[in-house]
């Protein structure tokens, strides 16, 4: 029987077993109790409380403004809903870069105040010291390479990363550094499928892709994008499984019309 069918609780160990057995890992973001409950019941393997909450929940243009307190609020709401999935929380911009002690104290706050199981941070060689320090406290760390949205003002755009040989070589080196530092998994965002496949077969830890082709050990999407709640974001890699935006809008319009016409509430809907 496949690993994900046997387990009651997904752990970092379960994910590495899945990689060894060639079972694909399914990961989605969530930021609140209600959605987390639905996707956990559907048996998603990993829930990422992503700093994409800055965009989809708070309406900012980038992931930079979201704070550690905001992330803790979202993560604690998600954890209260989850019985099975591994919950990973993004360390937000400015809470770990350039200072491994701050990285550790931010991670400790997340673990203590939310009950989540792991943290994620962006970057390669420049965050290795932070990864090691966080791990020294027994906190599992997921890495994130390729398009790293917290560095958007350095990149200038959200285009595909590591298309040139030099950047691809650096990404491969960073992946190995993060593995050696002790990361339990890596996210690769928006890089060529060929490179993502090479990284996946060069490291022993699970590699989860977003816009990184089909050769990674798993896939992650932003929940609000794959459900079609967000509309303006339409990259090639995004498969929409629903158009909740128009379904919700239609339901709200029907409600407004029922209120205005005094069809709602009817005799059975009152005391």
What minimum distance in Å lies between the beta carbon of 41 and ligand KIV?
21
Our finding on whether 90 is near ligand KIV (CB under 6 A) is yes
Neighbours of 201 (CB within 10 A): 10
Nearer to ligand KIV, 123 or 258 (CB): 123
What minimum distance in Å lies between the beta carbon of 94 and ligand KIV?
15
What minimum distance in Å lies between the beta carbon of 199 and ligand KIV?
15
- Per CB under 6 A, the list member of 23, 28, 40, 52 interacting with ligand KIV is 52
Angle at 142 between CA 11 and CA 178, to 5 degrees: 125
Q: Any residues with CB less than 8 A from the CB of 17 and at least 6 apart, and which?
A: 3
Nearer to ligand KIV, 50 or 140 (CB): 50
Our finding on whether 92 is near ligand KIV (CB under 6 A) is no
Segment near ligand KIV (CB under 6 A); pick from 13-21, 38-46, 48-56, 99-107: 48-56
Segment near ligand KIV (CB under 6 A); pick from 47-55, 68-76, 108-116, 229-237: 47-55
Active site residue 189: yes
Our finding on whether 148 is near ligand KIV (CB under 6 A) is no
Segment near ligand KIV (CB under 6 A); pick from 16-24, 33-41, 43-51, 152-160: 43-51
What minimum distance in Å lies between the beta carbon of 48 and ligand KIV?
6
106/119 Cα distance (integer angstroms): 10
Segment near ligand KIV (CB under 6 A); pick from 36-44, 45-53, 103-111, 175-183: 45-53
257/265 Cα distance (integer angstroms): 12
Our finding on whether 51 is near ligand KIV (CB under 6 A) is yes
Which one from 122, 167, 189, 232 is the annotated catalytic residue?
189
Q: Omega into 265 within 30° of 0, i.e. cis?
A: yes
Our finding on whether 47 is near ligand KIV (CB under 6 A) is no
Our finding on whether 217 is near ligand KIV (CB under 6 A) is no
Residues 178-197 that bind ligand KIV (CB under 6 A): 187, 189
- Per CB under 6 A, the list member of 35, 46, 47, 50 interacting with ligand KIV is 50
Write the CA distances from 130 to 93, 141, 168, 245, integer angstroms.
14, 10, 23, 39
Active-site residue list: 189
Residues forming contacts to ligand KIV in the complex (CB under 6 A) are 29, 48, 50-52, 90, 187, 189, 210, 220, 222
């Amino acid at each position: 029987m496949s690993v994900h069918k046997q387990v009651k609780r997904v752990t970092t160990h379960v994910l590495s077993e899945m990689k060894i057995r060639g079972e694909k890992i399914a990961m989605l973001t969530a930021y609140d109790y209600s959605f987390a409950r639905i996707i956990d019941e559907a048996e998603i393997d990993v829930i990422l409380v992503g700093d994409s909450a800055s965009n989809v929940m708070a309406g900012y243009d980038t992931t930079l403004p979201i704070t550690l307190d905001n992330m803790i609020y979202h993560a604690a709401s998600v954890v209260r809903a989850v019985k099975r999935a591994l919950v990973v929380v993004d360390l937000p911009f400015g809470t770990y870069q350039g200072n491994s002690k701050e990285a550790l104290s931010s991670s400790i706050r997340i673990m203590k105040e939310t009950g989540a199981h792991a943290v994620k941070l962006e970057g390669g060689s420049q965050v290795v010291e932070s990864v090691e320090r966080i791990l020294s406290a027994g906190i599992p760390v997921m890495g994130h390479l390729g398009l790293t949205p917290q560095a958007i003002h350095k990149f200038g755009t959200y285009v595909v990363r590591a298309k040139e040989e030099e950047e691809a070589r650096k990404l491969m080196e960073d992946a190995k550094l993060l593995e050696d530092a002790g990361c339990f998994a890596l996210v690769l965002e928006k890089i060529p499928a060929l490179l993502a496949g090479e990284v996946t077969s060069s490291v022993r830890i699970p590699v989860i892709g977003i816009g990184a082709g089909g050769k990674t050990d798993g896939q992650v999407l932003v929940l609000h994008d794959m459900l079609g709640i967000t509309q303006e974001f339409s990259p090639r890699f995004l498969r929409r499984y629903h158009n909740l935006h128009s379904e919700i809008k239609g339901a709200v319009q029907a409600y407004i019309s029922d209120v205005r016409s005094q069809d709602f509430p009817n005799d059975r809907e009152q005391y």
